[in-house]
A and B are shown apart, each in its own frame.
Chain A
Amino acid sequence: MIHQRWSGKRALLAVTSMGLAAALVAGCGGTTKDNAESGSGSGANSEKVADPNAPIKEGLQIAFLPKEIDNPYENIVDEGGIAAVTELKGTGKEVGPSDASASSQVSYINTLVQQNQDAIVIAANDPNAVAPALKDAMEKGIAVVSYDSDAAVDARQVFVNQADSESIGRSQIQMVSEQIGGKGKIAILSATPNATNQNTWIEFMKDELKKPEYKDIELVTVAYGDDDDQKSFQETQALLSSNPDLKAIVSPTTVGISAAARYISSSPYKGKVVLTGLGTPNQMRQFIKDGTVKEFALWDPEQLGYLAGYAAAALASGQITGKEGEVLKAGKLGERKIGKNGEIILGPPTTFNADNIDDYDF
């Protein structure tokens, strides 16, 4: 067969020409990171003027797009949001991917644009990957609010933050330090490596650890459970077996902390290793009661969703545009001022322990 006899030469030719092409292109310079940054891309709606007295439109269609549809925490947030939308005589719905990946959220954004929703409320899996689709949506006049985990700043109008990231991060360290007596090795069990919120908190946690009063605490490693129950469970197992002298695990994600608690409660580490972080009272109740966990924190996710729902409706009705200094009227939560970069803060987190956990049901 002829093609076989030739293929050796052909391969050589192909490789040489590829190399030549590469060399040629490299020689000509080309588009690099430094000269590609255009820095334009201002928000499409930034020129609009807010009318604080504009009435909230009736019949608004607002969609909530969580990181993944089966995340119990975000389900609660979205319930709160949908409640707010219903209160405002609109229609709210929750849609989302079954895996916490950036690309699957993009498909949903495009779908929501096509459905002519009035507003999209999103917890971004990857701030940049969702940005082009969100910008498209804003260009078509759809209000975009991010909550829980921010999208790129120019790809949304308002970011509803649960609490300011700094106080969350620092309070995690304060909480764990108190429980281990300010001494020993700790590890962090996070969600996905790219989750914006997690990474910001972890940065502040590391920063807090630099303070002299924490000099005896050593952060051994950051593990990633991908907000997947099973993976988080296994990561906990791995953390504990590879670091026998580990004193505490901090898991600032609801999926992580409950999976970790489940592992620890049935292992010899129970009572010896401290577990704390961010969790929901319903998921953690049994572990507080059986002594696996002493204390953890969280804000009220329902209120977070509620606030995001109000922000979305206000944006879609022209009451706010997301500029710093504007005031959002958020129903039963009162008023919130919009901060720098369109950020709205819900408030400080609540700490849960054996004394107060039964007062909460979410």
Chain B
Amino acid sequence: MREKLLRWESILLLLCILVFVWGSASTPGFAETDNISFLLLDYTEVALLALALLPIILTGEIDLSVASILGFCSALTGVLWDAGMSFETIVPIVLVAGAVLGSLNATLIVKFALPALAVTIGTLGLYRGLAYVVLGDGAVTGFPDVYRPIATDTIPGTFLPYATLVVLVLGVLVAVVVHYTPVGRSLYAIGLGEQTARFSGIRVQRIKFVLYIVSGILCALASLVYTLRYNSARADNANGMELIAVAAVLLGGVSIFGGRGTVVGVASALLLMAGLRNVLFLNDVTNEIQNVINGLLLIVSVLVPVVANLVRRRRTPAAAATPGAPPPQETLPDPVGATAAPHGTPEEDQR
């Protein structure tokens, strides 16, 4: 029980509640319906990118090209719309384009066994560049009033924007897949030790390939939301958003080395970041200070598990000697992780 309370996810949720309570108490205008829905809406795209990144990071890989895929898909939307194509046709095309860009990442990383960091730093520039090639420097606007409300309006009578509902549904979907299916458990296994996972019969390559394609599709979806929300398709849309999304995932307690993390954690991190940003904005705190606060939060999130581990090891010196002692993720429904450890991938190496 004590373990559960001390878990990072619980701390995050508590911080979330603190921020929202503090916000409503101290800042006029914070607790209003309009503001809450705006606060949620403002993080829709980041949340979608984070959902794309979460499973990838769980396997110990990374995808830094997410925001560039968003930018490319937005530019593509603009060009097709400008060419007079119907929006209903553009949507599937853009989703397929996202999948194609994702599979290019996957091909380079999986088939050619290149490091994901290098590949996606490359495609981060490549896709953003392609976005400019496709659309040029201009902006396309005038997207249909029929569809724009999906990205801007709330469900009548509530504070919940449609776009956030989409994120919630996808979030639940990802949570179910990650935490309650064999595929999900394979992700943790791959993250904890790829060799071990492969020898245990997990089709590591295929899973990774699919993850990057799914990531591409989610980014394309995010691009549609972004384009409709701002009613503006541009090549530089969401420039730099990949870092916010990665930060949200890491803040959510997902290990950058893979094998550890939960959807609840990432969701709390997103809510915390969105809430904090909003409160700070309303109090006229400048962007620079906000970046400092976000940066510190991120460092703390990476530091806490390490420190906790150190403290634990000092208390029970025996734990360090036993290679099978599974550190903090014992509360996860993760039998694979437990079986993977004895195969000789000491967790400590990965932190």
Contact = CB atoms under 8 A, between A and B. Distances in A.
A31 B139 contact: no
Given A22-B93, A106-B230, A126-B139, A30 B145 contact: no
Given A25-B88, A33-B81, A132-B231, A69 B143 contact: no
A69 B286 contact: yes
17 contacts: A25-B89, A31-B144, A34-B84, A38-B145, A95-B284, A101-B239, A102-B232, A103-B230, A108-B281, A110-B38, A111-B278, A114-B30, A114-B32, A128-B139, A129-B141, A129-B232, A193-B136
Interface of A: 1, 3-4, 7, 18, 21-22, 25-26, 28-34, 36-38, 69, 93, 95-99, 101-104, 106-108, 110-111, 113-116, 126, 128-129, 131-132, 192-194, 224
The 9 A-B pairs with the shortest beta carbon distances in the complex, nearest first, are A193-B137, A30-B86, A30-B88, A128-B141, A36-B144, A129-B232, A129-B230, A114-B29, A22-B92
Contact of A103 (B141, B148, B238, B286): B238
A98 B138 CA distance: 22
Contacts of B32: 114
Nearest to A105: B230
Interface of B: 29-30, 32, 34-35, 38, 42, 81-82, 84-89, 91-93, 95-96, 136-139, 141-148, 152, 182-183, 201-203, 206, 210, 226, 230-232, 234, 236-240, 277-278, 281-282, 284, 286-288, 291
A111 B282 contact: yes
Contacts of B92: 18, 21-22, 25
B234 A3 contact: no
Nearest to B42: A107
Nearest to B151: A132
Nearest to A128: B141
A194 B234 contact: yes
B118 to A, nearest CB: 23
A30 B147 CA distance: 12
Nearest to B96: A18
Contact of B143 (A7, A26, A36, A99): A36
A202 to B, nearest CB: 11
A32 B87 CA distance: 6
A28 B38 CA distance: 35
Contacts of A22: 89, 92-93
Contacts of B277: 107
Given A36-B142, A194-B138, A26 B89 contact: yes
Contacts of A192: 236
B232 A126 contact: yes
A111 B274 CA distance: 13
A228 to B, nearest CB: 12
B152 A4 contact: no
Given A97-B287, A102-B234, A194-B234, A1 B203 contact: yes
B223 to A, nearest CB: 12
Contacts of A110: 35, 38, 42
Given A18-B95, A126-B139, 7 more contacts: A26-B88, A69-B287, A102-B230, A115-B29, A193-B138, A194-B137, A194-B138
